[in-house]
Amino acid sequence: MIDFIWNLSSFIIALGILITVHEYGHFWVARRNKVKVERFSIGFGKAIWRKTDKQGTEYVVALIPLGGYVKMLDERVDEVAPQDKDKTFNSKTVYQRIAIVAAGPLANFVFAIFAFYLMFLLGMPSVKPIVGEVTPQSIAAKGQITSQSEIVEIAGQATRDWQDVNLALVANIGEPRLVIKTVNKDSASAVSHQLDTRDWQFSPEKTSAIESIGLMPFRPKVHNEIVVIAKDSPAERAGLKIGDQPISVNGIAVNNQWQIFSEQIKQFPNQEIVIEVKREGRIEQLTAIPDSIERNEQLIGYLGLASKSDPYPKEYQFELSYGPIDAISQSLDKTWQLIVLSFKMIGKLITGDVSVKNLSGPISIAQGAGDHAGYGLVYFLGFLALISINLGIINLLPVPVLDGGHLVYYVIELFTGRPVPEKIQEIGFKFGTLALLGLMSIALFNDLSRL
């Protein structure tokens, strides 16, 4: 329940910020073009707060925080007094209307640059993309990538950390070949690896892009010793103690390897098991019933404990931060990279290289907001920037009812010299509404199926 409240609160805060930014873009440019704005609303439905300024604009915060709008004076929908006719949206030139409509998505892109700028100024703790293990017979193994090597470039894109690696891999889904450059600590020169990705199978709901090509990030050595036991967990109820060293599960030896012990526990959700441990030089047998949790559409056993592990090597850690000047170019580059990636993914959805099962809706976004907010401010800023970019791009799609659909109509008007007939616009808006509801339904279905 606490997680739900935290995720929901983080989601509302994130969405409120991004919607305000988007609508303020429309509002600011409309005001600069002398269009009368009647209402600036964050959310839909019943108003829970409202205020009117000297220019007659009503500012509203509404009950349902899933959108917002800027209502401008328009003769096509309102009775307009003669003295206000020059303040209507429809009376402005096509260039002015294009500027007003495009300002919302552009404001989201500007906000992303700002959020990344703050993130780079504050600094984000990161780790170098050092390969831990390479899955035998995988795409990476066939490309001769080796463990302990550092990934420095993918398809011409520099990779500073594992997030860069993941984004670069996702951007190249559907490509028949992929070039990855690595550096070994014994050599300063980069080695190019040609990967055959024609049979690359990537399912985001099951695994990451990194693991799907056969790479496992480096992780410090894990020792076969319990160091954390969660309160009121199955482990605590079974009588396990800190310092215990697992020996076997239901008679199957773990060979002093925590990974084997963990995998054995996962096999027995909600089932009674016998765990043999070494405790202070003697052997103890304990009975436990692991709880069940869902992961990758399967129920797995969970005891609620953690093992001892070595500290992460300092030479693999760094802080991703820049000075006030360098942070500008880095934030611009990061924003552009994600804009290009987002458009690529839309193209891959259309061509079928990426399944519609990968679409995420409000539930996934809420979970992401809660997770990133819990990690700290810099992570939440990065999350806001990413969602802001996605919001801007979605609104630019040439779908009637979205900003992009309006822009298509205005571009047609620009070339033909006359507005698109209102009847055609109405048909387009109905089609756009159905298409948008369809996409939202798919995304929501995907969210629910992942719960």
- Averaged over 316-324, what is the pLDDT? 90
pLDDT of 231 strictly over 80: yes
More confident call, 450 vs 387? 387
pLDDT the model gives residue 366:
44
User: 23 catalytic, yes or no?
Assistant: yes
Where does CATH 2.30.42.10 sit in the chain? Answer: 124-220+311-320, 222-309
pLDDT the model gives residue 126:
87
Distance CA 309, CA 226 (A): 10
Q: What is the DSSP string of 103-114?
A: HHHHHHHHHHHH
Q: Does domain 124-220+311-320 have CATH number 2.30.42.10?
A: yes
The answer to whether residues 104 and 19 touch, using CB atoms and an 8 Å cutoff, is no
pLDDT of 325 strictly over 90: yes
Of 68-82, 252-266, 382-396, 420-434, the one with minimum mean pLDDT is 420-434
pLDDT of 442 strictly over 70: no
pLDDT of 14 strictly over 60: yes
pLDDT of 370 strictly over 50: no
pLDDT tens track for 145-184: 988 899 999 998 889 988 888 888 888 888 889 999 999 8
pLDDT the model gives residue 90:
87
pLDDT of 375 strictly over 70: no
Distance spanning both ends of the chain, measured CA to CA:
15
Residue from 177, 118, 101, 95 nearest 413 by CA:
95
Residue percentage of the chain with pLDDT more than 90: 30
Q: At what angle do helices 377-396 and 2-32 cross, to 10 degrees?
A: 50
- Averaged over 30-54, what is the pLDDT? 90
pLDDT the model gives residue 329:
94
Mean model confidence pLDDT for the chain: 83
Cβ-proximal residues to 59 (8 Å cutoff; 6+ apart), any chain:
39, 40, 41, 50, 51, 52, 53
pLDDT tens track for 277-305: 999 889 999 999 998 887 656 788 889 88
Rounded to 5 degrees, φ, ψ at 328 are -65, -55
Residues in the chain: 451
Count each helix (H run) and each strand (E run) in the chain, helices first: 12, 18
pLDDT the model gives residue 203:
73
pLDDT of 447 strictly over 60: no
CATH architecture of 222-309: Roll (2.30)
pLDDT the model gives residue 28:
95
pLDDT the model gives residue 297:
60
pLDDT the model gives residue 353:
59
Residue from 263, 260, 223, 214 nearest 243 by CA:
223
Active-site entry in 23, 79, 280, 284: 23
pLDDT band at 451 (very low <50, low <70, confident <90, very high): very low
pLDDT of 367 strictly over 50: no
Q: What is the DSSP string of 306-341?
A: EEEEPPPPGGGEEEE---TTHHHHHHHHHHHHHHHH
Helix %, strand %, coil % for the chain, to 5? Answer: 45, 25, 30
Distance CA 289, CA 285 (A): 14
The answer to whether residues 20 and 42 touch, using CB atoms and an 8 Å cutoff, is yes
